[in-house]
């Protein structure tokens, strides 16, 4: 078996430790810029989150997250297979496998860090977008409140006009000088079609579900979504902490491996003490030979 | 000279564009004003007035339907829209008169305080 070069192992150990000491290597790989119009606020509250998630799934960020998930899954199975093989070898081969396990864990920690950063990016973008929607919904609500009196007047006018429509039609028929106007013909036909469609909408089972679930206002639902996104961000922070502990454990494992390598190469005494030639007595041997 | 011509043409196009963009409520107001003028025109014979008002009622009915189904007016908090919907009786003459089952003319006169009783109760004075 080839002799293990301790310099390489020390370098590897230092590399692993330096990687572990960094919070994450993830950089801003990709972005998600929600590309949804303000009309999203017109959707029933339940469909709002679905529309946002659909938009996210089309982004590069979602693609990167999916790629990292796949890589993480491969990395975990690689580490597991190495860990199973570790007990079957001893000596230098065992050290080699431990080294590979450390390398695998290092990659796992890096990938996990990147994944957490991407998840944080997604949630922060979602949160900012939801807050923007919330402001818009509040402004819209305020505008509606301002014009509520006028809307009531308009609804009342429409109801009164609808109630008088038959009488008016009879009056016009009695005093008819010519044919009914084109608009009038289309109006009555379209009015009937609209009434039929409206009644179909009202009796539609899905509409009743939406209206019962839609008791919460859009603002209320947005508020729930914002709370949920903030909770998810808090979970991400906790996961980062777990990853930090994993990295610290990995650093300790790397240090233990470095020690084992030193013992393997130089015996139980480990690395020889370096001689300090700055004192004259230490260089005496040079003159005595 | 060319510049002046260009300016006049541009102004004409701008103004004609404005006229086309008149809203449904403005159209109704214009037609309503013409109808009221016909109601109080002393030079019209009774038969002519009846014919003109019958035609006006048909036009007003259509314009009122257009206004009532105009989505652009919903929640539009302009003075004109507010005033128009506050006084349903005077804005929607055709529908309101049908609701009250009166002729459009007597309905308008009663709404502006020109009913027979009110006219009879007036005093001639110098």
Q: Do A187 and B65 touch (CB under 8 A)?
A: yes
Give A137-153 pLDDT, tens digit per residue: 888 888 777 788 888 88
| Domain spans in chain A, listed from the N-terminal domain onward | 6-154+219-273
Residue B101 lies in a domain: yes
Rg of chain B taking only CA atoms, in angstroms: 19
B98, A164 contact by CB (below 8 A): yes
Asked if A167 has any chain B CB less than 8 Å from its own CB, the reply is yes
| pLDDT > 80? residue A223 | yes
Cβ distance B75 to A150 less than 8 Å, yes or no, reads: yes
Rounded to a whole number of angstroms, the distance between the first and last alpha carbons of chain B is: 60
Hey, how many other C-beta atoms are within 10 angstroms of the C-beta on A76?
Answer: 13
Q: How far is CA B26 from the centre of its chain?
A: 8
DSSP chain B: -HHHHHHHHHHHHHHHHHHHT--HHHHHHHHHHHHHHHHH-TTS-HHHHHHHHHHHHHHHHHHHHHHHT-GGGTT---HHHHHHHH-HHHHSHHHHHHHHTS-HHHHHHHHTT--HHHHHT-----
What's the total number of domains in chain B?
A: 1
For residues A60 and A120, the answer to whether their CB atoms sit within 8 Å is no
In a domain, B28, yes or no: yes
Taking the Cβ of residue A8 and every Cβ of chain B, the question of whether any pair is shorter than 8 Å is answered with no
| C-alpha to C-alpha distances, B78 to A135, A146, B30, B87, B126, nearest whole angstrom | 25, 12, 18, 15, 43
ipTM of the shown complex: 0.75
User: Does the pLDDT value for residue B125 go beyond 80?
Assistant: no
Residue B7 falls inside a structural domain? no
Domain residues for B109?
A: 18-120
- Summarize pLDDT for A181-200 with one digit per residue, the tens: 788 888 888 888 888 898 88
Q: Let me know if residue B2 belongs to a domain.
A: no
- The CA distance from A160 to A265, in Å, is 100
Residue B11 lies inside a defined structural domain of this protein: no
* pLDDT recorded at residue A208: 65
Query: What's the confidence (pLDDT) of residue B17?
Result: 44
Average pLDDT value over all residues in chain A: 81
Across the interface, of A150, A164, A176, the residue whose CB is closest to B77 is A150
CB contacts of B75 in chain A (<8 Å) are: 143-144, 147, 150-151
pLDDT at A17: 58
pLDDT given at position A26 = 44
């Amino acid at each position: 078996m080839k002799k293990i070069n301790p310099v390489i192992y020390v370098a590897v150990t230092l590399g692993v430790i330096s990687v572990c000491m960094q919070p994450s290597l993830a950089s801003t790989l990709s972005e998600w810029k929600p590309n949804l119009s303000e009309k999203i606020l017109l959707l029933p509250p339940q469909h709002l989150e679905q529309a946002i998630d659909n938009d996210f799934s089309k982004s590069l960020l979602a693609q990167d997250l999916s790629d990292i998930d796949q890589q993480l899954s491969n990395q975990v199975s690689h580490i597991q297979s190495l860990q199973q093989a570790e007990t079957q070898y001893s000596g230098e081969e065992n050290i080699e496998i431990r080294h590979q396990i450390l390398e695998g864990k290092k990659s796992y920690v890096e990938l996990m860090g990147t994944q957490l950063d991407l998840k944080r990016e997604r949630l922060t973008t979602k949160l900012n977008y939801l807050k923007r929607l919330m402001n818009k919904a509040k402004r819209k609500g305020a505008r509606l409140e301002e014009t509520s009196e006028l809307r009531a007047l308009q609804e009342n006018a429409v109801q009164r006009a609808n109630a008088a429509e038959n009488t008016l039609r009879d009056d016009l028929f009695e005093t008819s000088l010519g044919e009914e106007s084109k608009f009038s013909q289309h109006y009555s036909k379209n009015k009937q079609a609209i009434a039929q469609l409206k009644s179909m909408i009202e009796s539609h089972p899905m509409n009743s579900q939406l209206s019962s679930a839609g008791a919460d206002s859009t603002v209320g639902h947005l508020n729930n979504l914002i709370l949920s996104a903030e909770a998810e961000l808090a979970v991400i922070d906790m996961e980062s902490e777990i990853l930090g502990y994993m990295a610290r454990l990995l650093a300790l494992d790397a240090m233990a491996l470095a020690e084992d390598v030193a013992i393997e190469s130089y015996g139980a005494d480990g690395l020889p003490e370096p001689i300090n030639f700055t004192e004259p007595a230490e260089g005496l041997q040079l003159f005595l030979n | 000279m060319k510049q002046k011509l260009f300016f006049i043409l541009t102004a004409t196009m701008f103004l004609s564009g404005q006229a086309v963009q008149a809203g449904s409520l403005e159209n109704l107001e214009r037609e309503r004003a013409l109808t009221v003028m016909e109601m109080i025109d002393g030079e019209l014979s009774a038969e002519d007035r009846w014919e003109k008002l019958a035609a006006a009622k048909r036009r007003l009915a259509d314009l009122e339907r257009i206004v009532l189904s105009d989505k652009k007016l919903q929640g539009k908090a302009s003075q004109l829209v507010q005033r128009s919907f506050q006084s349903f009786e005077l804005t929607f003459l055709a529908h309101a008169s049908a609701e009250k089952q009166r002729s459009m003319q007597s309905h308008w006169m009663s709404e502006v305080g020109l009913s027979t009783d009110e006219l009879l109760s007036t005093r001639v004075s110098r």
